[in-house]
Amino acid sequence: MSRSVPLELIAAIHSHDKFLCVSHVNADGDAYGSVLGMIHLLRNIGLQATPVMPEPVSPDFAFLPGAEEVLLPEAVDVAEYDFIICLDMSSPDRMGALHQAAEQAQTPLLVIDHHVTNTHFGVVNWVEPDAAATCQMLTRLADELFAPIDLNAAMCLLTGIVTDTLCFRTSNTTPEVMEAATRLQRKGASLPWIVQKTLNRLPFRILRLWGNVLPGVQLRERVVWAAVTQEQLRAADCEDDDPRLNSVLAAVEEADMSAIFTEKRDETGRPIVECSFRAKPGFNVGDVAFRLGGGGHAPASGCTLPGSLAEVVDRVVALLIQERRRQAIVFEGEVST
Amino acid sequence: MSRSVPLELIAAIHSHDKFLCVSHVNADGDAYGSVLGMIHLLRNIGLQATPVMPEPVSPDFAFLPGAEEVLLPEAVDVAEYDFIICLDMSSPDRMGALHQAAEQAQTPLLVIDHHVTNTHFGVVNWVEPDAAATCQMLTRLADELFAPIDLNAAMCLLTGIVTDTLCFRTSNTTPEVMEAATRLQRKGASLPWIVQKTLNRLPFRILRLWGNVLPGVQLRERVVWAAVTQEQLRAADCEDDDPRLNSVLAAVEEADMSAIFTEKRDETGRPIVECSFRAKPGFNVGDVAFRLGGGGHAPASGCTLPGSLAEVVDRVVALLIQERRRQAIVFEGEVST
């Protein structure tokens, strides 16, 4: 299952000095964890490494060692760097403003990612869709680079693994994932502390949002879904929807697939809907999202569609129900309770 | 941290043939997992082992290999066995009707448990309060007994570890816990499947109940609470309240204490309210419950009070707020975010 790290990646890193590490907009724990983890690993073998993110660091991840060093794209002169290492990013547009800067400066990109939808946009691309987190891949890369995993690196990498697997609950939590996590614990990273800092924190406004949204949740043919309006978000004092609602719906016993639809507007003010999907083991929502112009994996995916909330919900729920039916036939043996 | 298995335990097992394995009333995943896991381990070294539980097996754990063999106390002749192995049980009364039968037959007890409150009621007592689950202890015992861990044993033991640690989220999830779990995965037990069968199961009616209850949730002075009416329970098709709602409220970032109040009636038809409390580390809801005639521990407690829902909520919330204030002063150093 674990493919080897491309030799070109090792060679590119070992033969150069200055690296910029970046991840995607709307960053999650694996994005921050892999960028900061990589910074610490590179420094541990004497290289210069700078973290940059397309948006200011979320207060939720300010606890990560190195978070205070993260720069915004406008503070960086891309031309100064030998390589940009793109972590946990499926396509170059996901790095925001840095994308244009990198193209202008013609700084080469090294890609390290676990998204199956990765477009292989680097000069070297190490993409492992079987990995549960980019941070999991970096624990292997550390060995190949002969980079010691210090406490700082361990905390960052374990955070990415914990958040991307919802603390070892996702279907891609293989023994290799558990071994990587244990190793990072042994390097001093506290699993309970990271869990407390990331997954076991429910802001009161999220509870309010659930109170607004859950009365409207629907279940049909083993597909469960909820629509989140701007009014509901405002009433709960939430700026954006929250991935925890996805996890709640994804746990519904009577459903194989779940979806959250969030009402938004694009830059021009036109109505759009952000769709987020989850599937139980044996089912796949990756293809549905891909067909709708989005991306992701079999168990979790998403897309953004133009249109009103009601229109998009109707259309996409019909598609999910159809797709679930098709998959239930294909995987019939596995669908039993 | 990991103490050794008592030699007397190994000797007692290796020098006898017939074992009855039992755990506690109101059994959880570690109770079922340790009883059934022990059965498989003993059989793997050629011994006779029979599982017995004080109550019929919960449908939630019927998936465990061997669950179909579990006997009720009345179906067992205790005198036929060399030893009763008491697993995950802190005191002998917890094994229900089997307790009297064992005393009458004078069958000796072997105790294997991880509860700090264990009363050491066996002829041999192996109690490890540092262990996160009795099932974790059994992975070590397997080695000492030279008992192969087959797929059946691995599934049972991993289930106990997963449920007692809420999938590696509790503060006692040490690297040793992770290593035990990884080992059981390597023996073929599927972690995602077990998670799916145990923790990731949210009945749709519970989601409906949350939708009914959460709009009324309140937060004042770091105490968060919700009141559950009979009407809300009926509208959601729920017969009783659900402990998951407690866990949700207990995770609220802005609160140190949480409470759920459920409207009920006693046998004579008079209104009563069931109160369930939780406290964050550093706070104590055990005393409050005790003063109100209930019981429990510092982090979780409860009581039942006469009166209407509104009356009881008003009275008890005032008490909780007062108590939290008092404790916040006492524990001031620990109250910081």
Stretches in chain B below the pLDDT threshold 70 = 1-3, 331-337
User: Is A215 in the same domain as A126?
Assistant: no
Could you tell me how many residues make up chain A?
337
User: Is B21 in the same domain as B169?
Assistant: yes
CA distances from A133 to A125, A226, A300, B325, B329 (A): 16, 27, 13, 42, 42
Give the residue from B166, B191, B218, B219 with the most A CB atoms within 10 Å of its CB, the best one to mutate: B191
What confidence score (pLDDT) does residue A4 get? Answer: 85
User: Is A120 in the same domain as A73?
Assistant: yes
Mean pLDDT by 10 residues, chain A (337 residues): 82 97 95 98 98 96 98 96 97 93 96 94 96 97 98 98 93 95 97 88 92 95 97 90 85 95 94 95 92 89 96 97 92 48
Which of B197, B221, B240 delimits the end of a domain? B197
Q: Domain containing B103 — which CATH number?
A: 3.90.1640.10
User: Is A185 in the same domain as A259?
Assistant: no
State how many domains chain A has: 2
Give Cβ neighbours of residue B78 (< 8 Å, ≥ 6 apart): B20, B84, B98, B101, B102, B104, B105, B107
- pLDDT tens-digit profile of A79-100? 999 999 999 999 999 999 999 9
The DSSP letter of residue B56 is P
For the entire predicted model, the pTM comes to 0.83
Residues of chain A positioned with their CB less than 8 A from the CB of B193: 281
User: Is A56 in the same domain as A194?
Assistant: yes
ipTM above 0.85, yes or no: no
The verdict on residue B2 lying in a domain is: no
Question: Which among A58, A68, A13, A60 has a CA at the least distance from the CA of A36?
Answer: A68
Which of A174, A198, A222 delimits the end of a domain? A198
- pLDDT tens-digit profile of A269-285? 999 999 999 998 889 99
3-state class of B331 per DSSP? coil
User: Is B15 in the same domain as B140?
Assistant: yes
Residues of chain B positioned with their CB less than 8 A from the CB of A172: 192
User: Taking each helix axis from N to C terminus, what angle separates B29-44 and B151-164, rounded to the nearest 10 degrees?
Assistant: 160
The verdict on residue B300 lying in a domain is: yes
User: Is A242 in the same domain as A188?
Assistant: no
The DSSP letter of residue A262 is E
User: Is A210 in the same domain as A181?
Assistant: no
What confidence score (pLDDT) does residue B26 get? Answer: 85
The verdict on residue B1 lying in a domain is: no
The verdict on residue B133 lying in a domain is: yes
Which of B155, B182, B197 delimits the end of a domain? B197
User: Is A138 in the same domain as A160?
Assistant: yes
Closest CB to A207: pick one of B172, B192, B214: B214
Instruction: Provide the residue range defining the domain that includes A250.
Output: 204-335
Residues of chain A positioned with their CB less than 8 A from the CB of B200: 169, 250-251
Q: Domain containing B260 — which CATH number?
A: 3.10.310.30
DSSP-derived secondary structure for B114-150: --TT----SSEEEE-TTSS-HHHHHHHHHHHHT----
User: Is A188 in the same domain as A51?
Assistant: yes
A211 and B217 within 8 Å at the Cβ level: the answer is: yes
Chain B interface includes A46 (CB < 8 A) = no
What confidence score (pLDDT) does residue A192 get? Answer: 86
Asked if residue A117 lies in contact with residue A90, where contact means CB atoms within 8 angstroms, the answer is yes
What confidence score (pLDDT) does residue B299 get? Answer: 78
User: Is B73 in the same domain as B167?
Assistant: yes
A191 and B170 within 8 Å at the Cβ level: the answer is: no
What confidence score (pLDDT) does residue B301 get? Answer: 85
Question: Burial of B46 by CB count in 10 Å (0-12 exposed, 13-18 middle, 19+ buried)?
Answer: exposed
User: Is B177 in the same domain as B208?
Assistant: no
